[in-house]
Structure 1
Amino acid sequence: MNDIDFEKASKINIEHRFPYFEYPMPGLDVIAETPSPRLIKSHLPFSILPNQMDKKKPKTIYVARNPKDTIVSYYWFGIKFLNVVPFNGSFEDYCRLFVTDQVAYGPWWKHVTEAWKRKDDENMLFLFYEDLQTDARKCVKQIAEFLGKSFTEEQIDLVVQHCNFDSMKKNRSVNYEWMKDDGIANKDEAFLRSGKVGDWRNHLSEDIVKQLDEIVATKLPADMREYIRDSLPEK
């Protein structure tokens, strides 16, 4: 949407270029004054987003991630990285809250199901985090086409390189290091921590894995279950 102008993008952090709908900063007033086409992001499920989503049908990209990696990433970001919400429990305690639908933005299964039901809508592009890892180039081309953008193969390669994990980790306009300067985040942790698919194997207990498997098997639409992969496919 910035026509691959990396220099321009590097001058303003992502919270202002691509603000969160539900966050107080920069806030709804700033979003309302932003000229169209606007980029707005959110972690909210569709059932909580404004009714105008159904009336105006803005182009919407939804990214789903398997619950096992989600729970690990969510803990490290919300509890270890951020200093906003105090949590005195253990990682296992947090996992139990996740599987019993007691964490913010949850339940996970309901969130992804609401989006999955809209996957065939003309204004909707449904992506899986795992696909972004296995074939980033294909996903970038999908996104470009969805947004009505036409780029050369070389330009697509530039976007893929610019958006890979290592590049983003070093990019101060997107790595949230400024939160540490503001005292919002823990100086000893990183927002971009791992980014790997299957990292849950290094953290989750057998009991939590079993409960997450049960959620996938019983609460997701049947045609969605096969897409909820917990590891990269063998090459």
Structure 2
Amino acid sequence: MNGFGSPKKTREFHNHHFDSSIWNDFEFRNDDIIIATYAKSGTTWVQQIVAQLIFNGAEDLDVAEMSPWLDLRVPPKEVKLPAVASQTHRRFLKTHLPVDALVFSEQAKYIYIGRDGRDVVWSFHNHHSNANDTWYETLNDTPGRVGPPIERPTRDTVQYFREWLEKDGYPMWPFWENIRTWWEIRDQPNVQLIHFEALKRDMPGEIRRIANFLDIEIDESRWDAILTHCSFDYMKAHASKSVPGGGIFWDGGAETFIHRGVNGRWREILPEEDKARYEARALAELGPECSSWLAFGK
């Protein structure tokens, strides 16, 4: 990669969750892996997959500790950066930033996971509805928050979806720019796009594709262990190892964070006019090729 056309950071992104300025001080290594999503798109699943590839199917990895969300503003960068710098394994970090708020390195490899926005919202509603007082205190009351606090959500998932669509990602952060900026750099040689639906259809095939992209040779004697440890049942049973803070931020603990891992729950619930409004917005925001990929993973 010669750097021509390489993405450049053009802005900072701050809110109740984010402090994008941490990337300005982050020192990349030449084998770093960055796992990126809008959120609730399979991030934890892909972190587990990458951990299994790096550590050759090892049991009971503390993936949440190994692979922090770097641009989450808590703990502050003064705490987070030294911790990440001390890691001796191949690093695999998580971001939910759009490309233009991220420092993009030619040294790193970037995996971006997409998922239909309606599935994202259904997962986010579970995540948000089950957040406890500790979650709100951490996001709203710790120093460094920019903008308004995050409020408790309506229990009506359809109303939650409508507000998210009408206000572009409310009460979290903008959706369309996140998808669009990563789609625009999909041809960069150190970027790979994958899709939640594709992982559901063919997890073994997608894991091999990820391994090839990351230049990791799979030990076939450990292949069955890798697949077992990347299964939904295994991750649900070992959720405290995969979920931030071991699940202390959600009622019901880590198992609440790793909820159901299914798509299409909105199909029988969301009114037809809301489905059509989402699809029209996706087409207008993303264009036909990207909106089709986001909907179907093909």
Q: Taking structure 1 as the reference length, what is the TM-score of the superposition?
A: 0.82
Specify which of 152, 169, 172 is matched with residue 87 of structure 1.
152
In 2, Cα distance between equivalents of 1:223 and 1:159: 33
**Shift in CA distance, 130/102, structure 1 to aligned 2, threshold 3 Å:** closer
RMSD between aligned residues? 2.6
What is the rounded CA distance, in whole Å, between the counterparts of 1:139 and 1:87 in structure 2? Answer: 36
Secondary structure class of the residue paired with 2:266: helix
Q: Gapped runs of 5+ residues in structure 1?
A: none
**Corresponding residue number in structure 2 for 1:191:** 257
> How does 1:5-154 map onto structure 2 within 5 Å?
5-7=57-59, 10=60, 13-23=62-72, 24-25=74-75, 27-35=80-88, 37-50=90-103, 53=104, 55-83=105-133, 84-85=135-136, 86-89=151-154, 90-100=156-166, 101-103=168-170, 106-154=173-221
Aligned letter for 1:71? V
Partner of 1:164: 231
User: What per-residue deviation string (whole Å, max 9, x for no partner) do you get for residues 80-132 of structure 1?
Assistant: 24542441534333212210214255332221111111111111110011000
Q: How far is 1:204 from its partner?
A: 2.6
Alignment length (residue pairs): 223
- Deviating more after overlay: 162-171 vs 146-155: 146-155
**Which one-letter code corresponds to 1:17 in the other structure?**
M
1:41 is paired with a residue of what secondary structure? strand
Find the aligned partners of 2:82 and 2:172 in 1 and give their Cα distance.
23
Structure 2 unmatched ranges of 5 or more: 1-52, 137-150
1:23-53 deviation digits (Å, cap 9, x = unpaired): 2246233223334632110111112212xx1
- Once residues 33 and 153 of structure 1 are traced to their aligned partners in structure 2, the CA distance between those partners, rounded to angstroms, is 30
Report the alpha carbon displacement of residue 3 of structure 1 after superposing the two structures with TM. 2.9
Instruction: Judge conservation of contact 2:57–2:222 (CA < 8 Å) in 1.
Output: no
Pairing 1:212–2:278 present: yes
Distance 1:58 1:88 in 2: 37
Distance 2:220 2:85 in 1: 35
Sort the Cα spacing of 1:202 and 1:158 in 2 relative to 1 into closer, same or farther, 3 A.
farther
Tell me, in whole angstroms, the C-alpha distance in 1 between the residues paired with 2:197 and 2:126.
19
Change (3 A) 1:105 1:2: same
Secondary structure of 2:193's counterpart equals: strand
- Aligned counterparts of 2:171 and 2:58: Cα–Cα separation in 1: 33
| Aligned match for 1:4, one of 56, 69, 74 | 56
Identity %: 22
Asked if the contact 2:180–2:286 (Cα under 8 Å) also holds between the matched residues in 1, the reply is: yes
Alignment check: 8 A CA contact 1:169 1:175 kept: no
Q: Which runs of 4+ in 1 moved over 6 A?
A: none
Contact 1:69 1:198 in 2 (8 A): yes
Distance in 2 (CA, whole Å) between partners of 1:5 and 1:206 is 44
Give the stretch that moved more between structures: 57-66 or 41-50.
41-50
What does the per-residue CA deviation read over 1:112-157, in whole Å, with 9 as the maximum and x for residues that have no partner?
A: 1111111111111100110000000111001111111111445333
The code of the aligned residue for 1:140 comes to: I
Q: Single out whichever of 190-199 and 18-27 deviates more from structure 2.
A: 18-27
SS at match of 1:198: coil
Alignment partner of 2:182: what SS? Answer: helix
